[in-house]
Structure 1
Amino acid sequence: MKNIRNKKIIILLTLILTLTTVVGCENSNKIEDNKESKTKIENSAYPLEIEDQFNNKVKIEKEPKRIVSLAPSHTEILYSLGLGDKIVGVTSFCDYPEEAKEKDKIGDFEGVNIEKIIELEPDLVVQYGKGNEEVNNKIKEAGIPIVSYEPESIDEVIDTINEIGKITGKEDEAKKVTEDMKSKKEEVLNKVKNVEKVKVFYEIWHDPLSAAGPGSFMDELINLSGGENIAKDAKGGYSEFNEEELIERNPDVYLAAEDPEKTVESIKSRAGYDAMNAVKNNRVYLLEPNIVSRPGPRIVEALELVAKTLHPDLFK
């Protein structure tokens, strides 16, 4: 009887092990099937046909694996989406994040090295603005898709990030980045919503004097931060501004980006500037240029920086 019972136990254990193995194999097969199915779904987004900000219709055959960025702000967008390892070329001005400095350089704002770009064998080039027609054509002739974006507001930056996320297969990451940006924007707006507006001038350049006018993202940042841009009726977003008109309009706050060629004292000492409230009340400020001059993910940091500068008491 004891031997029979032992045999039954052995048979039962054998059956259990056999069933476990079968079920395990089935589950393993299901997992592999699911992985394969997921891969097919992800790849089904390509080829992708998009229209960039300048109405160029571009076909992206497959998920980009080698990307060239022709602007610091676009480089920051690509890094924010987790695409740093796929960036193979940047401009000499692309210095954020720190890793961007290690990438191959393909030129600067004055021109790009087309041969270098083609040599890097990118499957996507992202440029700021319309770009140079001759350069664009040569890149296209090499079979390289090129997309163009020039956001001039926080909402346009958000749209650009989402669009680049779509092109690169990083839509979820883009959504996370842009939701965080929207949240930061609302936080700043809530702090300044009841403030008394102050008159502001933002200097783009000093010789000749140029201002951030209507349509520029700095104009928007000033307005959102509880300021009134005294150059709101300038001829364009970045245009010359008459110094006599500046002094007559008498800004309460004078802003400019940090630059080796200027200091707060050098601005204050310009002829006639001592008549302005901004100079009388020591409200001339130089701001960190990489934050306030790049329409990328850090544009909401620029918004907070401008708001803090105009209304420091609200951010203590």
Structure 2
Amino acid sequence: MKTIVSLVLLTLAFVSPEANAEQQTKEAKRIIALAPHIVENLFQIGAGDRVIGTTDHSDYPEAAKSIPRIGNYARLNIEDILAADPDLIIAWKTGNPTDDLERLAKFGIRIVYSDPHSPEDVAGEFRRFGELTGLEQQAEQQAIGYLAKLNKIKQQYQDKPWVSAFYELWPRPLTSIAANAWPQHLINICRANNPFVQSKTDYPQINLEQVVLKNPQLIIQPRSSARSITDEINWKQWSDIPAVKNNAFIHPDENQLHRMTSRALNELTLLCQQIDEIRERHYKQAGL
């Protein structure tokens, strides 16, 4: 095995400029996809069978579970990646170890980056992946359908009054969202007003006293099967908070909502409906 890998390393270290230029234009057939959302979006456009390696937690669709794992968010297995002989690596701009990616780039492997921030960016991901794989037509169909669904949700809630919402991304340490965070864009669509939106970082750590002072009308606590609800904050201790007083808690599926894929819109639809119910209840109680 070490001999094979050594030969691969030697070969890649001396990739000619001409070969590298050709590599930049050919359709990718052997793809390493370094994040769950990348895998899911490749399957969405019909390129899932080209993914020969991925990272932990790439579990959708079902076929993704059988793709070999070559690392996680903290570390990539360089030898396994080189031995797989990919013609393309699609990396997550903010979710992969940069030092490992820099090492891989030195071997002449083509690396492109996925960097979605807003819901609209998912359509751009489809189109970009379509260009990389020669599946432009399928990708364009997915992008158009995705944007149509997104715009429908936006139009449904664009004139709704705002409701104050604390987003409990993680309980310990208590972490929320702000600015350009992916979930922030989603709750904006539902017209949920985050009192910490102006924080200096996208995922600020918040203390309990700050939340109490903000008096949110609802609290959003994303959940997944991997997270124990015993870790969550016991908000009942602060019964004066409107969200606690009115039992206004929402628990979206974070595995869907937090992934930059078309499935996020399914969970967003449900989230906006639940926020709207709490909004109507609040304004009715206030006599508005």
Q: Given the two structures, how large is their TM-score scaled by the length of structure 2?
A: 0.82
Kindly, what percent of the aligned residue pairs are identical? Answer: 28
1:256–1:312 distance in 2 versus 1, CA, 3 Å: same
Match of 2:9 in 1: none
1:60–1:273 distance in 2 versus 1, CA, 3 Å: farther
Shift of 1:218: 0.9
Pair 1:72-2:39 in alignment: no
Separation of aligned partners in 1, 2:24 and 2:267: 33
Match of 1:197 in 2: 162
| 8 Å CA contact retained: 1:127, 1:146 | yes
Counterpart of 2:263 (choices 291, 298, 312) is 298
Separation of aligned partners in 2, 1:223 and 1:69: 29
Separation of aligned partners in 1, 2:98 and 2:172: 30
Counterpart of 1:97 (choices 29, 44, 61) is 61
SS of the residue corresponding to residue 176 of structure 2 reads strand
SS of the residue corresponding to residue 165 of structure 1 reads helix
Pair 1:82-2:49 in alignment: no
Shift of 1:301: 2.3
Shift of 1:116: 0.9
SS of the residue corresponding to residue 78 of structure 1 reads helix
SS of the residue corresponding to residue 251 of structure 1 reads coil
| 8 Å CA contact retained: 1:89, 1:105 | yes
Alignment of 1:1-316 (within 5 A): 60-129=24-93, 131-259=96-224, 260-262=227-229, 266-267=232-233, 269-270=234-235, 272-312=237-277
SS of the residue corresponding to residue 119 of structure 1 reads helix
Greater alpha carbon shift after TM alignment, 252-261 vs 214-223: 252-261
Separation of aligned partners in 1, 2:139 and 2:194: 31
Shift of 1:257: 1.7
Unaligned stretches of 5+ residues in structure 1? 1-46, 50-57
Which amino acid counterpart does residue 58 of structure 2 have in structure 1? Answer: C
Separation of aligned partners in 1, 2:197 and 2:99: 35
Structure with higher Rg: it is: 1
1:263–1:275 distance in 2 versus 1, CA, 3 Å: farther
Greater alpha carbon shift after TM alignment, 253-262 vs 170-179: 253-262
Greater alpha carbon shift after TM alignment, 137-146 vs 159-168: 137-146
Which amino acid counterpart does residue 167 of structure 2 have in structure 1? Answer: Y
SS of the residue corresponding to residue 108 of structure 1 reads coil
Q: Given the two structures, how large is their TM-score scaled by the length of structure 1?
A: 0.75
Separation of aligned partners in 2, 1:164 and 1:95: 19
Separation of aligned partners in 2, 1:48 and 1:292: 38
Greater alpha carbon shift after TM alignment, 276-285 vs 133-142: 133-142
SS of the residue corresponding to residue 43 of structure 2 reads helix
Greater alpha carbon shift after TM alignment, 119-128 vs 275-284: 275-284
Greater alpha carbon shift after TM alignment, 273-282 vs 132-141: 132-141
Shift of 1:156: 2.0
Shift of 1:262: 2.0
CA offset digits 1:90-149 (Å, max 9, x no partner): 112100111100111111112111111111111111111154343123322333211112
Separation of aligned partners in 1, 2:138 and 2:166: 36
Which amino acid counterpart does residue 176 of structure 2 have in structure 1? Answer: A
Shift of 1:272: 4.4
| 8 Å CA contact retained: 2:236, 2:244 | no
Shift of 1:297: 2.5
Shift of 1:61: 4.1
SS of the residue corresponding to residue 196 of structure 1 reads coil
